[in-house]
Amino acid sequence: MSSYLLDIQNLSVEVEGTVILENINLSIPYSESYVLFGPNGSGKSTLLKAIMGFPSYKVVNGKIIFDGKDITNLPTSERVRMGISIAYQHPPEIKGIKLIDIFKFCLKKKPEEDLEPEHYELIDKLKLRSFLNRNINVGFSGGERKRSEIVQMLLLKPKLILLDEPDSGVDIESLRLISQEIQKYITETGSSALIVTHQGEILNHITTGRACVLLDSTIHCYKNSQEIFNTIKDVGFAKCIECQERGVKIND
Ligand code: ADP
Ligand code: MG
């Protein structure tokens, strides 16, 4: 049995007839939070959506192994059932469905059933109690949207959480709340995470291991997250991966 929860092998992905990702190799161990860096438009969200198996993201080569099983051709619903969950970069507004209803759905509860005290505890921690009867994300601020998204994701009890820029458009207070709950969940359950970020702040709250850089359709460098972040800040993405190509070790 592989020691990786997620093992992506030689993956190429096409969207609307264009190859966006080429020959991606990424192995995320059990119980590790992994970071994915890359400039805007490099394909980070595409990679997360391909892992979820959204229909417009067509795998043209390679495979995705999750928890020892080949999920490359499985529908999204099956992947969610197996324990993969995503928090979107831009959580959509959903009119006509209340936040409490989606929380019940995540928990497989019937509409007439109530949530458990532990669920209200999480809702209160993320300051969402007064939003429960509002339409999902409609009129929510950036931070409120991300907080609602994180609660939905955690209620599904995933083994792998995919976080697409959880820190973008979020104030420092919301970011702290979100990060604390994510770290608590990861510590308690031993799950893994793949976190896309441009900001260093989240690395101060969530214990991360390795990171990689997505540039020119493929992944480079598999080193310590804080080291890579500092290098990108200092010299930019392109120089950051040059360093690896020259065989200079950033940090092992
Ligand atoms: P990132 O998240 O790294 O900023 P994305 O994965 O969103 O990048 O996008 C990568 C590239 O794929 C971009 O050039 C984007 O325009 C293109 N792309 C993403 N989704 C679609 C789509 N549904 N249709 C056409 N092109 C897309
Ligand atoms: Mg993106």
The structure tokens listed for 141 are 């601020």
Strands (E), 67-206: 69-70, 84-87, 94-98, 135-136, 160-164, 192-196
The answer to whether the CB of 148 is under 6 A from ligand 1 is no
Using pLDDT thresholds of 50, 70 and 90, give the confidence band for residue 56. Answer: very high
The answer to whether the CB of 158 is under 6 A from ligand 1 is no
Q: pLDDT tens digit string along 62-112?
A: 999 999 999 999 999 999 999 999 999 999 999 999 999 999 999 999 999
For 53, phi and psi rounded to 5 degrees?
80, 30
Pocket test for ligand 1, best of 15, 165, 217 (most atoms within 8 A of CB): 15
The answer to whether the CB of 44 is under 6 A from ligand 1 is yes
Using pLDDT thresholds of 50, 70 and 90, give the confidence band for residue 175. Answer: very high
Using pLDDT thresholds of 50, 70 and 90, give the confidence band for residue 240. Answer: confident
Q: pLDDT tens digit string along 112-155?
A: 999 999 999 999 999 999 999 999 999 999 999 999 999 999 99
Q: pLDDT tens digit string along 181-228?
A: 999 999 999 999 999 998 888 999 999 999 999 998 999 877 889 989
Pocket test for ligand 1, best of 13, 45, 212 (most atoms within 8 A of CB): 45
The dihedral of CA 3, 227, 23, 74: what is its sign?
positive
Residue 251 has pLDDT above 70, yes or no: no
What is the rounded average pLDDT of the residues 48-56? Answer: 97
Tell the residue number behind the tokens 């950033």, with chain if given. Answer: 250
Rounded to two decimals, the pTM is 0.93
- Tell me how far apart the terminal alpha carbons of the chain are, to the nearest angstrom: 25
Distances (CA, A) of 166 to 71, 156, 230: 25, 17, 19
Q: Which ligand is nearest to the CA of 164?
A: 2
The answer to whether the CB of 42 is under 6 A from ligand 1 is yes
Distances (CA, A) of 86 to 112, 193, 202: 27, 10, 17
Q: pLDDT tens digit string along 7-40?
A: 999 999 999 999 999 999 999 999 999 999 999 9
pLDDT of residue 239: 83
What would you report as the CA-atom Rg of the chain, rounded to the nearest whole angstrom? 18
pLDDT of residue 223: 83
Using pLDDT thresholds of 50, 70 and 90, give the confidence band for residue 245. Answer: low
Tell the residue number behind the tokens 């969940």, with chain if given. Answer: 185
Rounding to the nearest 10 degrees, give the CA dihedral for residues 94, 100, 104, 106: 50
What domains, with CATH codes, occur in the chain? 90-192 (3.40.50.300)
Higher-confidence residue of 231 and 2: namely 231
The answer to whether the CB of 213 is under 6 A from ligand 1 is no
Residue 38 CA to ligand 2 center (angstroms) comes to 9
The structure tokens listed for 106 are 């995540």
Supply the angle between the helices 142-155 and 99-106 in degrees, to the nearest 10.
30
Q: In sequence order, what are the residues at sequence separation of 6 or more whose Cβ sits closer than 8 angstroms to the Cβ of residue 248? A: none
Sheet holding 57-66, edge to edge: 18-29, 4-15, 57-66, 69-70
Reduced to 3 states (helix: H, G, I; strand: E, B; else coil), residue 30 is: coil
Which amino acid belongs to residue 119? H
Residue with the smallest CA separation from ligand 1 atom 21 is 15
The answer to whether the CB of 40 is under 6 A from ligand 1 is yes
Q: pLDDT tens digit string along 146-171?
A: 999 999 999 999 999 999 999 998 99
Residue 47 CA to ligand 1 center (angstroms) comes to 10
pLDDT of residue 244: 64
The answer to whether the CB of 82 is under 6 A from ligand 1 is no
Using pLDDT thresholds of 50, 70 and 90, give the confidence band for residue 1. Answer: low
Distances (CA, A) of 190 to 59, 161, 177, 226: 29, 11, 20, 21
Using pLDDT thresholds of 50, 70 and 90, give the confidence band for residue 246. Answer: low
Residue 197 CA to ligand 2 center (angstroms) comes to 9
Q: Where do runs of H (alpha helix) occur along 39-113?
A: 44-52, 76-82, 99-106
Rounding to the nearest 10 degrees, give the CA dihedral for residues 235, 240, 243, 244: 170
pLDDT of residue 125: 95
The answer to whether the CB of 45 is under 6 A from ligand 1 is yes
d(CA 68, CA 2): 6
Residue 118 CA to ligand 2 center (angstroms) comes to 32
